């Protein structure tokens, strides 16, 4: 599941997509209709994907996609039966094609479809404070609470026994059972995904969602961005402190504890039972194993294997850090 909320206007003729990224010679490609654009892992036959970094070589070698946007050098790492679309800038080309499949994925304007919860059927099953607004396509389970001035915008599913604090904004999100979202959170908005350009910065579409699994808690003022071509996921029984920022496509495992003001760049993954001290920073596109402990104020710029304890900038083995900073 990527996003059950954004409408996919596919299938689209491959020739149209290729011309969009300035490939006019389509003779080498069979006339085919492409159903969707997805990441390397989830893409299937008659779908298109992208491969822009050797970090994803393993996933690229196993992709089932019929077409892949990539560079000449990286194209050699793809399966033989995957048609290679060679471009200069993979991410910009991918963004252009994504916008064709999902034309409503690039804006996050305020939701003018919201209504006072008192005017919706949800008022009979949810306990709520003052000035609560509800958008379209919102489902809320049993025994839920919503605080004052909160806005549950369009495309949100909330499970049973959940509480949403005051002044929260939630959109494009699935929240499982027994989850607490504290005051002032913003969840499910588009991420900070754009490409710098000397003339005009190019905004990347976000067609993913946020998924928060059972028995988790998100602290006051935290922000969790929805995914771009995959989902942002918070695992079961994970506790996130105040003012934490989790960018698009991050995958946080189960039973994790993340202290205040930790910041995650996009597309990193954490295993289970990870503990991160306050004000640590996690760079993008990293893999952090299970049972890892990261000291407060650390800067993580490379992968961390299971069962590690690290601290400092750049984050290193905690015993080495302590020895060098006595």
3-state SS track over 54-80: HHHHHHHHHCCCCEEEECHHHHCCCCC
The predicted model gives 146-171 an average pLDDT of 97
Q: Which residues pair with 175 in a beta bridge?
A: 158, 212
CA separation for the pair 226, 229 (Å, rounded):
10
Q: Does domain 115-324 have CATH number 3.40.50.2000?
A: no
The predicted model gives 217-234 an average pLDDT of 95
Share of the chain above pLDDT 90, in %: 74
Active site residue 148: no
Answer whether 12-101 and 115-324 agree in fold: no
Phi-psi region of 165 (alpha: psi -120 to 50; beta: other; left: phi over 0): beta
**pLDDT band, very low/low/confident/very high, at 32 (cuts 50, 70, 90):** confident
**pLDDT band, very low/low/confident/very high, at 26 (cuts 50, 70, 90):** low
pLDDT number for residue 24:
63
pLDDT at 325 over 90: no
pLDDT number for residue 82:
94
pLDDT at 1 over 60: no
The active-site residue, picked from 206, 245, 248, 285, is: 248
Where do the structural domains in the chain lie, given as residue ranges? 12-101, 115-324
Q: Percent helix, strand, coil in the chain (nearest 5)?
A: 15, 25, 60
Please name the residues in contact with 198: beta carbons below 8 A apart, sequence gap of 6 or more. none
**pLDDT band, very low/low/confident/very high, at 92 (cuts 50, 70, 90):** confident
132: which 2 tokens?
């609560």
Task: Give the lowest-confidence range in 95-109, 158-172, 232-246.
Answer: 95-109
pLDDT number for residue 112:
82
- Tokens 């602290």 found at: 219
What is the chain's mean pLDDT, rounded?
A: 92
Per-residue pLDDT tens for 182-197? 999 999 999 888 777 7
Cβ atoms 255, 277 nearer than 8 A: no
Task: Give the lowest-confidence range in 55-64, 107-116, 135-144.
Answer: 107-116
Measured CA to CA in angstroms, residue 192 lies from 75, 122, 225 at distances of: 28, 33, 8
Higher pLDDT, 39 or 210: 210
The predicted model gives 30-39 an average pLDDT of 87
**pLDDT band, very low/low/confident/very high, at 304 (cuts 50, 70, 90):** very high
pLDDT at 176 over 80: yes
pLDDT number for residue 25:
60
CA separation for the pair 134, 160 (Å, rounded):
17
CA separation for the pair 192, 226 (Å, rounded):
10
pLDDT number for residue 27:
64
User: Where does 12-101 sit in CATH, by number?
Assistant: 3.40.1390.10
CA 255, chain centre distance (Å): 19
Q: Does the predicted TM-score (pTM) go above 0.75?
A: yes
Q: How many C-beta atoms surround the C-beta of residue 73 within 10 A?
A: 9
CA end-to-end span of the chain: 49
pLDDT at 94 over 60: yes
The predicted model gives 65-79 an average pLDDT of 95
pLDDT number for residue 280:
98
pLDDT number for residue 229:
83
pLDDT at 172 over 60: yes
- Tokens 């990286």 found at: 74
């Amino acid at each position: 599941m990527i996003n059950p909320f954004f409408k996919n206007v596919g299938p689209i003729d491959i020739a149209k997509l290729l011309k969009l990224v300035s490939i006019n010679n389509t003779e080498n490609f069979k006339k085919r209709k492409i159903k969707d654009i997805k990441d390397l892992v989830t893409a299937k036959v008659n779908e298109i994907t992208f491969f822009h970094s050797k970090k994803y070589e393993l996933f690229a070698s196993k992709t089932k996609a019929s077409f892949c946007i990539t560079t000449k050098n990286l194209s050699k790492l793809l399966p033989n039966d995957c048609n290679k679309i060679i471009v200069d800038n993979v991410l910009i080309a991918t963004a252009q094609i994504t916008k064709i499949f999902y034309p409503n994925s690039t804006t996050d304007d305020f939701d003018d479809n919201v209504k006072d919860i008192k005017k919706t059927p949800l008022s009979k099953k949810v306990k709520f404070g003052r000035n609560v607004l509800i958008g379209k396509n919102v489902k809320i389970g049993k025994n839920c609470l919503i605080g004052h001035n909160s806005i549950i915008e369009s495309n949100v599913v909330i499970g049973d026994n959940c509480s949403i604090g005051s002044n929260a904004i939630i959109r494009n999100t699935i929240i499982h059972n027994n989850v607490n979202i504290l005051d002032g959170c913003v969840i499910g908005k588009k991420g900070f995904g754009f490409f710098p350009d000397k003339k005009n910065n190019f905004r990347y579409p976000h067609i993913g969602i946020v998924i928060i699994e059972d028995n988790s808690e998100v602290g006051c003022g935290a922000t969790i961005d929805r995914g771009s071509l995959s989902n942002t996921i918070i695992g079961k029984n994970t506790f996130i402190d105040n003012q934490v920022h989790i960018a698009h496509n991050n995958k946080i495992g189960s039973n994790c504890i993340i202290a205040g003001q930790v910041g995650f760049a996009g597309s990193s993954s954490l295993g289970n039972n990870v503990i991160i001290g306050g004000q640590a920073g996690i760079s993008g596109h990293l893999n952090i194993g299970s049972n890892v402990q990261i000291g407060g104020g650390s800067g993580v710029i490379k992968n961390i294997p299971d069962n590690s304890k690290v601290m400092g900038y750049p984050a290193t083995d905690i015993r080495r850090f302590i020895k060098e900073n006595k």
